[in-house]
Amino acid sequence: MQNIQDLDIRILKVIYENRNPLFDSFFIFITNTAAVIAFGIPVILLITAIIKKNNVLRREALMILLSVAISAIVANLLKYAVDLPRPYEIYPFIVKLSSGGSPSFPSGHTADAFAFAVALGLVYRKWYLYVPCLVWAALVGYSRMNLGVHFPSDVLAGAIIGIVSAIVYIGLIKRNLRQITAVKV
């Protein structure tokens, strides 16, 4: 366990000591887009589907939205079960440059971003949607470290939670699609 913690702080120290303050605003912007994009886009798709009475779009929007919601629930349950401090609370050389008041492990922003990116990719299967979303999700994760609010292991765990949540949930839905489409939402 100590080796992981040592590696965590070594990586974070390299990131933090080499960060360029000129990019702080960019990374704050990226970090702030996590929930807005991860929850906002599926909600907009869902509202559009309801207005247009488009059952296929409604199902797709719900699959993405529920993947993100499940990921957020799992990440938040783990945060309080594990209850680890944030980097800026332990290391005086790290300054908190973004929001982050709950426990550190795992990164909820990263979990949301990866759940959205993977769910979108699984639902639409278009590389030109999937690749930019994965790049954005990776930037969200990096921003959390760059802004001093998460360790690399927090970000890695958040990414894994988001990816697994989307794959498992959408896999289950697609397996039972006939039953789901028979149910009116």
pTM over 0.85: yes
Q: What is the pLDDT of residue 171?
A: 86
Element (H, E) at 85: none
Q: What is the pLDDT of residue 17?
A: 84
Helix, strand or coil, per DSSP, at residue 104: coil
In eight-state DSSP terms, residue 22 is G
**Angstrom distance (rounded) from CA 45 to CA 65:** 9
Helix, strand or coil, per DSSP, at residue 10: helix
Work out the number of other CB atoms within 10 angstroms of the CB of residue 26. 13
Q: What is the pLDDT of residue 149?
A: 93
Q: What is the pLDDT of residue 183?
A: 55
Give yes or no for residue 6 having a pLDDT over 90.
no
